[in-house]
Structure 1
Amino acid sequence: MILGGSGYLGSAIAQVCDRAGAQVRVVSRSGEAFAGEGVRGDVRMPRLGLPPAALKQVQDTTHVVFTFGSVSWTSGPGQALETHSAGTKSALEFLRQLPNLEQAVHVSSLLALGRSEGRVTNRELYTGQKFRNWYEYGKYCAERHVRDTPDLPVGIVRFGPILGPDPRGGRLDTTHSLPAVFPHLLAGYPVHLAGRGDFPSWVTDVYSAAEIVHKALRNPIGRDTWSWFDPAKPTLREVFEEVCRPWGTVPKILEAKPLGRLVKLFGERMGTPAELAEYTDPWFDLDPAILDDIPRPWPIPEPGYLAATGQSLLGARAGRGISA
């Protein structure tokens, strides 16, 4: 059962599990499924809002994935906490009603670490950090709820920004998160980044992320925490350059240091999109050995997934403000 399985990452997870021979149920508010069986439900409601017939049908569920909620870095407290915090508590309670449950995986975000100081590993969650936005705090609260339920077999997998063409066959959503910057860059506008973006972006492609979740289900992860990102560790500058390459565009990346607080204060007025304004400096310091907690063999990120992200936008250049 994949909660939120009709979304960008959820659809890829559903496809990977389906190809591996699992019987897949995708629970979402729309009831859509791009692999497996679609079930209409809502994690914010008791028992996922499922009618009695559907509740009876899912009693044989053995594995569950939490991959619901908006990825907007500019969401307000209501949206972030209602879905990520309250929704996770509701989903955890639902797991107690599944008599055959073997393993669940909560998809978290590396941004739950907020403005962590010093080197961090998979063990830390609260490090005394402050949070840049409500999304980070919502993901922190969700992970906190999972860690506070030791009676349930729920592991945690953290990702940074996830890129690559949309597994659902549509156009990549550039409304939220790091992709919100792409239309800005492709239109020729500048962004201001510390060190001109020469710091790790912790990105990965959508299908290797899905493979990691599947590994966590089948390995299984138990109650451990894993973190996954492209082992090549492309910098933020390299991400922007590769996404822009199919457009024949060189992104205008300027040094942020001389502008300092003004970049964050004025956001787009200083040439930095609102979604990126708080991420102009290195995000946190991850221990280099953090990937070693994941059993090998590791999935191999899709070759050229960054350029493929730009190519998918080029194919839909007429949509939602993307221009040559």
Structure 2
Amino acid sequence: MNVLILGGSGFLGTAVAQACVRSGATVRVLSRSGRATAGEGVRGDVRLPRLGLSAAELARVRTETTHVVFCFGSVSWTSGPGEVLETHSSGTRSALAFLRELPHLRQAVHVSSLLALGRSEGRITNRELYTGQRFRNWYEYGKYCAERLVRDTPELPVGVVRFGPVLGPDPRGGRPDTRHGLPMAFPHLLAGYPVHLARRGDFPCWITDVSSAAEIVLKALDKPIGRATWTWFDPALPTLGEVFTEVCRPWGVVPKIVEAAPLGRFTRLIGERVGTPRELADYAEPWLDLDVDVLKEIPEPWPVPDPDYLGATGEALRAGTASTETLRAGAEKRALS
């Protein structure tokens, strides 16, 4: 395989690049910085025609690429419409156009998100995308638009792999990013602030570890997935409450998880001022009714998630943070902003 990973310098993209290199594939990682921790780094931009590649790089990539991974886009749940639509919608459209120029393309994989399903009603399988759902934020809508574009391009061999939140130590070797998504809650909990959740977080959040997620993308390239949709999450189905408890464990902290029912709308209105990061407020209740049998559509053997990837996330965060006082100061600053 000669794999081109679009957005391969990010958290999951780096893990995918590393998994592909371990498998013996030739790997190119396209990013705006042109840097890569695994494989060859290539400077480009998915929002530009022909990925913004130089003439020499364009000729080389066209001639040699056999497999492509779409792993780009902002992961912030609070991104505005401009950033989201430019990256997820326009970027996906540009990437799909580029695939048409690859004479030796065998398989491409679009990394999507379960959040593309928004607030869906009823049991969800791999078949559904539009269910009449409402979207909690522009991120969800952007992921929906990107997957819609992929599904509406039947002439190209592009499959879809959906994930929920992906955790674990940063494969780039840095501190886990707590600026976006579910990890925004970690500094609050570690600093002793409460997080308000329905049923005290006793519901699945469809989480997995970055290593097994990367292996699923590699499997989708290699099997290959064709035009199918796969969904992957930790088969152990840890609840949101368990996720927070395990991430806090290496710190010797028991997270303060408060039943959200008495607060409800109040929690959403004042968000961080009562200890709930604004990105988490709309996810304080069960997210969707996902049929767990979707896992059976992925050919076995399945990768085995690291048994302590949640604790390892907490350890990596601890190694990169001076103290709980630092976390508290950061949480207070965000609450007052």
TM-score, normalization by structure 2 = 0.95
Q: Does 1:49 align with 2:59?
A: no
Aligned length: 324
Q: Do the aligned residues in 2 keep the contact of 1:183 with 1:321 (CA within 8 Å)? A: no
Deviation per CA, 1:196-253: give whole Å up to 9, x if none: 0000010000000000000000000000000000000000000000000000000000
Q: Do the aligned residues in 2 keep the contact of 1:132 with 1:278 (CA within 8 Å)? A: yes
Q: Does 1:5 align with 2:8?
A: yes
Secondary structure of 2:230's partner?
strand
Q: Does 1:322 align with 2:327?
A: yes
Q: Does 1:133 align with 2:141?
A: no
Matching residue within 292, 299, 305 for 1:295: 299
Runs (5+) with no aligned partner, structure 1 = none
Matching residue within 97, 104, 118 for 2:101: 97
> Cα distance, 1:270 vs. partner?
2.5
Q: Do the aligned residues in 2 keep the contact of 1:89 with 1:145 (CA within 8 Å)? A: yes
2:42 equivalent in structure 1? 39
Name the CA distance, whole Å, in 1 between partners of 2:36 and 2:102.
Answer: 22
**Which amino acid is the alignment partner of residue 18 of structure 1?**
V
Name the CA distance, whole Å, in 2 between partners of 1:89 and 1:262.
Answer: 40
1:209 equivalent in structure 2? 213
Q: Do the aligned residues in 1 keep the contact of 2:194 with 2:275 (CA within 8 Å)? A: yes
Matching residue within 74, 78, 100 for 1:74: 78
Structural RMSD (CA): 1.2
Percent of aligned positions that are identical: 74
Deviation per CA, 1:30-72: give whole Å up to 9, x if none: 1011101000000000000001000011021000000001110
Runs (5+) with no aligned partner, structure 2 = 330-337
1:166 equivalent in structure 2? 170
1:282 equivalent in structure 2? 286
Name the CA distance, whole Å, in 1 between partners of 2:248 and 2:189.
Answer: 8
Q: Do the aligned residues in 1 keep the contact of 2:188 with 2:328 (CA within 8 Å)? A: no
Deviation per CA, 1:252-282: give whole Å up to 9, x if none: 0000011111111211123211110100100
Secondary structure of 1:302's partner?
coil
Cα distance change, pair 102–301 in 1 and its aligned pair in 2 (3 A): same
Deviation per CA, 1:118-147: give whole Å up to 9, x if none: 101000000000000000000000000000
Map 1:218-237 onto structure 2 (within 5 A): 218-237=222-241
> Cα distance, 1:322 vs. partner?
2.9
Q: Do the aligned residues in 2 keep the contact of 1:262 with 1:270 (CA within 8 Å)? A: no
Q: Do the aligned residues in 2 keep the contact of 1:317 with 1:323 (CA within 8 Å)? A: no
> Cα distance, 1:323 vs. partner?
5.6
Map 1:118-129 onto structure 2 (within 5 A): 118-129=122-133
